[in-house]
Amino acid sequence: MHIARSSLSAALMATSVRAFSPAASSSFRSSAAISNLSSRTFSSTTSLNANVLKLTEPAKDLLPDVDVFIFDCDGVIWRGDSVIEGIPETLEKLRALGKKMYFVTNNSTKSRKGYKKKFDSLGLDVPAEEIFSSSFAAAAYLEQTNFKESGKKVYVVGEVGIQEELDLIGVPHFGGPEDGGKQPDMGPGGALPHDSDVGAVIVGFDRNINYYKIQYAQLCINENPGCEFIATNTDAVTHLTDAQEWAGNGSMVGAIKGCTGQEPTVVGKPSPLMIDYLCSKLGLDKGRICMVGDRLDTDILFGTDNGLKSLLVLSGVTTEEKLLSQKNTITPDYYADSIVDFFVDENAKVEASA
């Protein structure tokens, strides 16, 4: 698995931010100022033990040392379409303390504009400029590598979030939901024609994944010279509902890996692309940032591999038993039941006076 590392220029930041506006220019050109993107492979197999501290005194151990919180969304802010209890009040308290917050999700089904609507629907007052999705990261990666100038197209295995972000940078694409009901001709002599001008296949979470999409993707990757295989993330499971875990984008990416023998370039967490974007754009100090998430292999690895503080919450997919297991090699600085525990002392005082 290749994980995209980027160094984003100030010119890219200024143009990329305009993508938050539907009326923004679709051109992101800044070729002289944009550095080439290289790839590197991260390994999470370290000799760490599972001796992790539970957050009990946040007012002393966490809040004074953190200026910026980066929150995952699924399992941290909400589960499915339900906001986790106490989250709105906790975010308000953090803002009152002057903390900056960004919401970085590996879920590519929505664009940043789409996620803004979800925050609003849950009663969460979060500005669009604080939201970053892996669908955005995929588009940013293509922009940095000057994909548009190649004249090639993108085939999308995924949903509208990826398509909307590609539209904002003017990259032609097809596939996605439009191919949800298609079936290839698998009778005698049957073959599926494919577009030789596809220069990249982006694979994101797709609730309508089918054999047609898998076959089309593998034809492009295997038969089009230089066609790049890009994954928004490789999460094993996801929160479609608050009732159970559902197979995540790792299953879609795995299907394409299996028939191409290729490793994808991963642009979502734990790739450093988005943290490099934020630090370059806003001049943030990595030593004063805390990544908060519910997944060890994406959220916490995103923190540890990129020089951030990290905190795991048990409100999502990771159990305390898994975290503290001797088999676990990825350890956060702290863990808590949920981010509501950031104000555990204050909450205890309120309960005592009730």
Tell me: cis bond preceding 88? Omega within 30 of 0 counts.
no
Q: Which of 67, 167, 195, 276 is catalytic?
A: 67
158, two tokens: 């995924």
- Grouping H, G, I as helix, E, B as strand and the rest as coil, residue 300 is helix
**pLDDT value at position 29?**
33
End-to-end CA distance of the chain: 53
**pLDDT value at position 239?**
77
User: Which residues face 54 on adjacent strands?
Assistant: 335
User: Which residues face 79 on adjacent strands?
Assistant: 82
Written as tens digits, the pLDDT of the chain (354 aa) is 777 654 343 333 433 434 433 334 333 333 333 333 434 434 343 444 457 899 999 999 999 999 999 999 999 999 888 999 999 999 999 999 999 999 999 999 999 999 999 999 999 999 999 999 999 999 999 998 999 999 999 999 999 999 999 999 999 999 999 999 999 999 999 999 999 999 999 999 999 999 999 999 999 999 999 999 999 999 998 878 878 889 999 999 999 999 999 999 999 999 998 898 889 888 899 999 999 999 999 999 999 999 999 999 999 989 999 999 999 999 999 999 999 999 986 655 555 455
Does the annotation mark 294 as catalytic?
Answer: no
State how far the Cα of 354 lies from the Cα of 2, in Å rounded to an integer: 53
Which residues, in sequence order, are CB contacts of 233 under 8 Å at separation 6+?
106, 107, 108, 134, 204, 205, 248, 249, 250, 266, 267, 268, 269, 298
Give the helix/strand (H/E) hosting 212: helix 211-223
CA angle 213, 217, 218 (to 5 degrees): 120
The dihedral through the CA atoms of 344, 84, 71, 253 has a sign that is positive
